[in-house]
Amino acid sequence: MLLLKRSLFLFLYLVASFSFVEAQNIFISNVQHRTTTSLNGKWQYVIDPYETEGMGGMPVYKNYIPKEESDRVEYSFTDGRTLWVPGSWNIQHPELRYFEGTVWYRKTFHQAEISDGKRYFINVGAANYLTTVTFNGEILGKHEGGFTPFSFEITDLIKEKDNFLIIGVNSARKADNVPSKVTDWSNHGGIIRDVSLVEVPTTFINNYFVSLDKSTLAQKTKIINGKLELAGNTLPEKARIVIPELNIEQELALNSNGTTDFSIDVKNLELWSPENPKLYKVTIEAGDDKISDEIGFRTIETKGKEILLNGEPIFLKGICLHDENPLRKDRANSVEDAKLVLDWAQELGCNFIRLAHYPHQENIVRLADKMGILLWEELPLYWGIQWGNPEVLEKAKQQYTELINRDYNRASSIIWSIANETAPIPDRNKFLSDLADYVRTIDDTRLLSAAIKKDQELDGHPDSVYTYNDPIIEKLDIISLNEYLGWYGGFPEECRNKTFKAGYEKPIIVSEFGGGAMQGFHGDKYTRWSEEFQEYLYQESIAMFDKIDGLAGMTPWILVDFQSPLRQLSGVQDGWNRKGLISEKGFKKKAFFVLEEYYRTK
Ligand code: GCB
């Protein structure tokens, strides 16, 4: 693997730290294994529909409380209204069902012991979309992007008693956001993932990357490459990495800025794979800090039209997924939520999941590591993006930096997808091409793809040939295509007349196909919304795709029905996209078994 240059690492750190924030948005990796206090639970809130950041001229984050009868304060956090964190506000109160704007959340807490030798941070797993973090009456900064983590330091502000953390979250959809204004999923607003108080030594290990060097795969002694970065003023000269099961205890000399690139020789390494999702305990120590993680080592690459995992061809038996718990109708935000859907995917026979269309919760990626499920991860570069706007490109890079920082060490994550169904116009081609280069410079250990748009003109026409002509393919390792013949245009049997022409020596993933069905509704195979229609569509689609030269996997759309404001057909959709193989209540539809059978034969 090409190691990141130290200067690049620093640059990324700066991008992640200062692009949208005055100061202090610092990336802290692996929060789960640090000393933390959860700030989840009930938070008080105030709605700010006109986005004034204050009511009656009084900033909400100042937390004004009337002391005398004569005092004028025009908002109150203590009127009994609360929101559960983490969670989507839209599903918690009828008054917030369709609310898209700003809500201010307040949490108060005591911190019994504040130590001089420690630094304190507020870490937010994700808040959708634009977040203002304030603490004890001071604005710490803003974070943009609804699905990636961020941290702000509060060391100089934290007290033993009566701390108040006030976070404003604005979920308004805007044309220059990533994603842009219209999506086929629910715009769940609010603090959607865990919030915690993180305690670290004054100088601490804020980030590290380790991965298996693919050029050494065939060797007996393999090499693990790594990077390490410390944050703080009293930088030690040395750090240490320990992997007990591999008998590794290696000293790492640090540069004067607290970073290092390193390589370790390893013998008898058990490779991570779906059949053997072996994770090693890895501990890194530097100065007063010590952090442990569980990490798997594998390689992923392409050769001609094949995808190779650990040097061996693999067929990706996949399914698409949104980051929702359908039973709770909420954004997924726990290990239990992740387990629910990963268990279903394994029942279906999957070894691969496309986490559509934005970064999902970290719990699912960590659980996939343990269960041996490969993942495709993507950013919400979806319909309607302002391709010509350089600020939007910066936002996309920022989100990618945060996602890669979070998941770099996860063996399950093998593909970064840089876009979904975007028309190949010059501005978009330039944007995605820049982004592809950027992603490769931060992480050259994974494969790049993008779900390219179905061929509009040819789609739905019998006897047609699908030609892969999107210029962005040049930049990608894998060609991925969404194809809805039989649902959006034509009937399922028209799949018999469609062929696919590649012209590239690259593997192909069918990243979406499918159609809607209401679980429990039956009819003949031409009855729209019946389970039989969807079943027939799966039979014909699978037969069509299976003939594609270079087919390396598929991720039909989608494992479970999901909420979407675009889907309003009463009595059928009622706000749900019905293309799931499983209903929102957890019942399987007939098409589930068609795909399961196909995967059994692969
Ligand atoms: C697509 C999109 C996906 C939609 C799906 C549909 O092509 O990528 O986000 O939900 O079609 O159901 O139409």
CA-421 nearest atom, ligand 1:
8
CB 451 within 8 A of CB 419: yes
- How many A from CA of 184 to the centre of ligand 1? 6
Of the chain, the percentage scoring pLDDT greater than 90 comes to 90
Confidence check: pLDDT of 276 > 50: yes
- Ligand 1 atom nearest to 516, measured from its CA: 12
Distance 388 CA to ligand 1 centre (A): 24
Cβ(35)–Cβ(199) below 8 Å? yes
Name the pLDDT band for 464 (thresholds 50, 70, 90): confident
Q: Which residue, judged by its Cα, is nearest atom 4 of ligand 1? A: 184
Tell me, what's the pLDDT at 461? Answer: 53
Look at 453 and 143; give whichever has higher pLDDT.
143
Q: What is the DSSP string of 80-134?
A: S-EEEESS-GGGT-GGGTT--SEEEEEEEE--S---TTEEEEEEES-EESEEEEE
Q: Whose CA is nearest to atom 9 of ligand 1?
A: 184
| Pocket-testing residue among 354, 355, 512, 569, ligand 1, by greatest number of atoms within 8 A of Cβ | 512
> How many whole angstroms from 515 Cα to the centroid of ligand 1?
10
| Cis omega (within 30 of 0) for bond into 473 | no
Relative to the CA of 454, which ligand 1 atom is closest?
Answer: 7
**pLDDT of res. 508:** 97
Mean pLDDT of 403-425: 96
- Top pLDDT among 255 and 26 is at 255
* pLDDT confidence tier of residue 455, bands split at 50, 70 and 90: low
| Rounded average pLDDT over 278-292 | 98
pLDDT at 358 over 90: yes
Does residue 253 surpass a pLDDT of 70? yes
Distance 129 CA to ligand 1 centre (A): 21
Amino acid at 455: D
Tell me, letter by letter, the H, E, C secondary structure of 34-63: CEEEECCEEEEEEEECCCCCEECCEEHHHC
Q: How confident is the model at residue 502 (pLDDT cuts 50, 70, 90)?
A: confident
Compute the distance between CA of residue 487 and CA of residue 199 in angstroms, rounded to an integer.
Answer: 52
Listed range (12-26, 216-230, 298-312, 580-594) with the worst mean pLDDT: 12-26
Residue 597 phi, psi dihedral angles, 5° rounding: -65, -45
Question: pLDDT digits over 533-575, tens only?
Answer: 999 999 999 999 999 999 999 999 999 999 999 999 999 999 9
Nearest CA to ligand 1 atom 7: 482
| Average pLDDT rounded to a whole number, residues 308-312 | 98
Is residue 3 packed enough to be buried (19+ CB in 10 Å), middle (13-18) or exposed (0-12)?
middle
- Specify the pLDDT at position 20: 34
**Alpha carbon distance 519, 555 (integer Å):** 20
In the predicted structure, residue 25 carries a pLDDT above the cut 60: yes
Half-sphere exposure (Cβ direction) of 109: Cα atoms closer than 13 Å: 21
Closest Cα to atom 13, ligand 1: which residue? 184
Residue 488 CA: nearest ligand 1 atom is 13
My answer on whether omega of the bond before 86 falls inside 30° of 0, hence cis, is yes
The residue contributing the CA closest to ligand 1 atom 6 is 184
User: Region 236-253: what's the mean pLDDT?
Assistant: 98
Task: Please determine, for residue 8, whether its predicted confidence score (pLDDT) is greater than 50.
Answer: no
Q: At residue 24, does pLDDT exceed 90?
A: no
pLDDT at 458: 52
**Beta pairing class for 150-153 and 118-124:** antiparallel
Per-residue pLDDT at 53: 86
- Whether 338 shows a pLDDT value over 50: the answer reads yes
**Average of per-residue pLDDT across 309-334:** 98
Residue 500 one-letter amino acid: F
Name the more confident of 55 and 579: 579
Distances (CA, A) of 542 to 563, 579, 594: 26, 16, 9
pLDDT, position 46? 97
Among protein residues, the one whose CA lies closest to atom 10 of ligand 1: 184
Per-residue confidence band for 54, with pLDDT thresholds at 50, 70 and 90: confident
Checking if the pLDDT of 452 tops 50, the result is yes
Q: How confident is the model at residue 456 (pLDDT cuts 50, 70, 90)?
A: low
Distance of CA 442 from the midpoint of ligand 1 (Å): 29
Across the range 354-361, mean pLDDT stands at 98
Tell me the two tokens of residue 71. 């005092």
pLDDT at 19 > cutoff 50: no
Ligand 1: nearest atom to the Cα of 420: 8
Q: Name the residue with higher pLDDT: 476 or 453.
A: 476
Work out the end-to-end distance of the chain between its first and last CA atoms, rounded to an integer number of angstroms. 31
Which residue out of 557, 562, 567, 573 has the highest number of ligand 1 atoms within 8 Å of its CB and is therefore the one to mutate? 557
For residue 497, CA distances in Å to 190, 461, 465, 556 come to 47, 9, 9, 20
Å from CA of 565 to ligand 1 middle:
13
Select from 326, 324, 333 the least CA-distant residue to 585.
326
Average per-residue pLDDT for the chain: 94
Return the pLDDT at 594: 98
For the stretch 97-143, pLDDT in tens is 999 999 999 999 999 999 999 999 999 999 999 999 999 999 999 99
* For residues 33-59, average pLDDT: 94
The span from the CA of 145 to the CA of 358, in Å, is 10
Pocket of ligand 1 (CB under 6 A): 184, 357, 420-421, 482, 512, 557, 577, 579
Position 81 pLDDT exceeds 50: yes
